[in-house]
Structure 1
Amino acid sequence: MDRQWQLLGLGFVLGVTALCASFVGGMYFQHKDARKRLQELVQTDPYAYYLGPKIYEVYNIPNQFSFFKTNNEVDHRMRQIMKYGFPGLDDLRLYSDFVLSYDRRNRVAHWVCEHLQADSIHPNRGRRGRNPYQPDLSVPSNFRSELSDYRRSGFDRGHLAAAGNHHLQQNHCEDTFFLTNIAPQVGEGFNRGAWNNLERYVRNLVHRFGSVFVCTGPLYKPNERAAGKWAVEYEMIGLNMVAVPTHFFKVIMVESQLHLGKPYMEGYVLPNAPIPDGLPLRSFLCDIREIEHYAGLKFFDGLRRSALFGSNYPSESQVFREFS
């Protein structure tokens, strides 16, 4: 009898042990599977990437840099582009060489961020093809702009992340032609004039200093009405009602080549209108705080403004008043 009780007891202990082992094993593999899924999500979804460290902390997962690497151990491109923070977090979209936040209501981007180095702007690499503009089918159709919206609209399909900034690989250049990166721009005197000059100025900075971060986007300037009231008015084009910005901004941050040197930052605002050829670009320098106020964004928030050199234009900007 004692032998039977011993066998029963041993069987019970072994059963409980197996059950516990099965439970722990299941938890382990579930945790491992969840970790793998989270890693995959972080690699493809910019918003998940941004929240990744917070998610790891909640679930007590070690936040190692390997979580942000692809299979060939190369850092995810977004980690490099968004090194100094996100201007905003609305409808984030990662492309092969730039990141943007899409404005579903206006059918253009809130902002587009780029990190430019010498290889990015090499003219003999990726080239723009013939008629490569295309809608981004990942955007729901009721929020998407189409090629037909721009046809006979009187506006150019203007790049926010310039095609000339992304020549390292062919797909980098091609991605800039998705309509999520495009906005209606006045052609003569703006897109084919001052705006193009500003894009070339940015590439000259890359040649000189090696590492330049750029954030570009639209603005919708309010106009003063009678009795001191203000209103925002802008044109729309196409059946999808694509908004025509009144202005465009470009905020530039140049990393210092000196050890412990301060980065340099400056901002430009140009009216979406014909601009005289002889007007220098520096006429459109604007206090970055003023751009942030109108755009509702915060640029390079990962850096303290005290750690920047020339982060704001020293005098009050005339751009919004003189160029309507």
Structure 2
Amino acid sequence: MSLSPRFYDLLMKGSFFFVGGLAGSMYATHHHHDNLKILKQDLNILHPPTREFGHAEEKVEVSKDLAVRDVLKYGNPGPIADALARKAYVAAYDRRLRHSAWTAEHLTAASIARPPTTDTSGPVDRGKSKFIEDEDLPIPFRARLADYFKSGYDRGHMVPAADAKSSQEAMDETFLLSNIAPQVGDGFNRHYWAYLEDWCRRLTGNFADVYVFTVPLYLPRLGTDWEMACVIGSPPNVSVVLASKPSSPLTPDVLELSAGAFVLPNAAIPDTAPMESFVMPIEAVEHAAGIQLFSKAVKAAAKPICATTKCELIIRKFDDAQKKPNLRRAVSGLV
């Protein structure tokens, strides 16, 4: 499947998300390799392998002397990251970009299970959930439904509705526009990205606790004159996963950690694209996004997640709503 000129132009300018997938023809597969190469080059700009960027534990104390208080006497312009605590996730909302800077979830086998139906509450139903503005945010900084009208992009969930089955309220909260980012629909939001979300949920079968961070990633690009240009547009998706389980039945309090970061271009991705082709260093993601996901100790202790579990997607094709899905696997090494 070839990319439309608009999407291809945005992609060439460095627009990506952390997590994704591939679906399409040999033409799309060829451009997948080109786009992935560009993405890795962009991350190297931000995180050269041989360069030290300092230590996360170094804290810069904000001066509280009279001069500072005098300058900010009539107001502090920010920027402000709105902390959003929901039933199934937490997030930090970016008022400038009109979507969350990141979302975080804690998945367990119990948390993603559909609760039993009672006489007073019907079953949790995605069909009852509607996309709505987030009224917890100031009106001038909210994302609006009109922002996506005829935009050419899907309203892509950062925290998927399928991760929030504990109650109807929890599922409804995933449809708040603060949890939505612009995503290419065919081949990404409706396909490879959805396969990756499913893979994260299936990790709960092998790990006691799974922590998933989703980060829309805006990457700078080096211009021909060596000036840094900031990318504005639909970002790539990044999914960072940290999973833990007891190291053995005899030592339940000693945890074995596994972690991985997957950076996916916000574009149609072939179903056959191996997950491991999207693996990026967590440190590179942290530096590009301007956040610290895990401490140095956690990152040092964690094993690569693709070494401790299968980085393999299950492809679901729904050609007809009345038919059962046709399942097949996208195995690393097919491309």
Show CA shifts across 1:239-265 (max 9, x none): xxxxx22x1111101012323132111
In structure 2, the CA distance between the partners of 1:312 and 1:303, relative to structure 1 (3 Å rule), is farther
Counterpart for residue 108 of structure 1: 99
Q: Deviations over 1:35-76 (max 9, x none)?
A: xxxxxxxxxxxxxxxxxxxxxxxxxxxxxxxxxxxxxxxxxx
Asked if 2 retains the 8 angstrom alpha-carbon contact of 1:161 and 1:181, the reply is yes
Q: CA deviation at 1:302?
A: 8.5
Aligned to 2:82: 91
Among candidates 192, 195, 199, match of residue 194 of structure 1: 192
Q: CA deviation at 1:303?
A: 5.0
- Number of equivalenced pairs: 216
Deviation for aligned residue 1:127: 2.6
SS in 2 for 1:91: strand
- Cα distance between partner residues in 1 of 2:276 and 2:227: 31
Q: TM-score if structure 1 supplies the norm length?
A: 0.63
Contact 2:188 2:267 in 1 (8 A): yes
How many Å separate the matches in 2 of 1:181 and 1:303? 30
Q: Which residue of 2 aligns with 1:41?
A: none
Distance 1:131 1:308 in 2: 37
Structure with greater strand share of residues: 2
Residue 225 of structure 2 aligns to a residue whose secondary structure is: helix
Per the TM alignment, residue 123 of structure 1 is displaced from its structure 2 partner at its CA by: 4.7
Picking from 107, 124, 127, the partner of 1:126 is 124
Question: Of 225, 228, 237, which residue of structure 2 is paired with 1:227?
Answer: 225
The equivalent of 1:211 in structure 2 is 209
Instruction: Please tell me whether the aligned partners of residues 241 and 259 of structure 2 are also in contact (alpha carbons under 8 angstroms).
Output: yes
Query: Cα RMSD between the aligned structures?
Result: 2.1
Partner Cα distance (1:301, 1:180) in 2: 27
The equivalent of 1:271 in structure 2 is 265
* Equivalent in 222, 225, 249 of residue 238 of structure 2: 249
Q: Give me the whole-angstrom Cα distance separating, in 1, the residues matched to 2:306 and 2:135.
A: 38
**Equivalent position SS for 1:233:** coil
Letter in 2 for 1:257: P
Match of 1:318 in 2: none
- Displacement of 1:307 in angstroms is 2.6
Instruction: Tell me which of 152, 158, 161 is aligned to 1:160.
Output: 158
Closer/same/farther in 2, CA of residues 130 and 152 from structure 1, 3 Å limit: farther
Write the distance in 1 (CA, Å) between the matches of 2:304 and 2:172: 34
Please list every run of 5 or more consecutive structure 2 residues that lacks an aligned counterpart in the other structure.
1-79, 116-122, 308-335
**C-alpha distance in 2 between matches for 1:312 and 1:167:** 27
Per-residue deviation, 1:152: 1.0
Aligned-partner SS, 2:182: strand
The C-alpha deviation readout for 1:113-161, integer Å capped at 9, x for no partner, is 0001112222566331345111101111110011111111110000111
Q: After the TM superposition, which residues 142-157 of structure 1 pair with which residues of structure 2 at under 5 Å, given as runs?
A: 142-157=140-155
Percent identical among aligned pairs is 37
Asked if 1 retains the 8 angstrom alpha-carbon contact of 2:106 and 2:211, the reply is: yes
| 260-269 or 178-187: bigger deviation | 260-269
Identify which of 256, 262, 279 aligns with 1:262: 256
Query: What is the CA–CA distance in structure 2 between the aligned matches of 1:115 and 1:302, rounded to whole Å?
Result: 20
2-structure distance, mates of 1:171, 1:102: 20
Q: 1:110 is aligned with what amino acid?
A: A
Amino acid at match of 2:278: F
Structure 2 vs 1, CA of residues 131 and 150 (structure 1 numbering), >3 Å: closer, same or farther? farther
Shift of residue 195, structure 1, vs aligned partner: 0.7
- Measure the CA separation in 1 of the matches of 2:268 and 2:166: 32
Higher-RCO chain (CA-CA 8 Å, sequence separation at least 6): 2
* Offset at residue 210 of structure 1 (A): 3.0
Q: Are the equivalent residues in 2 in contact too, given 1:93–1:99 (CA < 8 A)?
A: yes
Q: Following TM superposition, by how much is the alpha carbon of 1:306 offset from its aligned partner in structure 2, in angstroms?
A: 2.5
Normalising to structure 2: TM-score of the pair?
0.61
* Alpha carbons 2:192, 2:269 under 8 Å: kept: yes
Distance 1:180 1:310 in 2: 31
**2:24 corresponds to which residue?**
none
**Structure 1 partner of 2:275:** 281
Deviation at 1:308, TM superposition (A): 2.1
- Distance of 2:127 and 2:305 partners within structure 1: 37
Partner SS state of residue 229, structure 2: strand
User: Whose Rg is larger?
Assistant: 1
Matched, 1:295 2:289: yes
User: Residues 36-55 of structure 1: matches in 2 within 5 Å?
Assistant: none
What residue identity is the alignment partner of 2:142? R
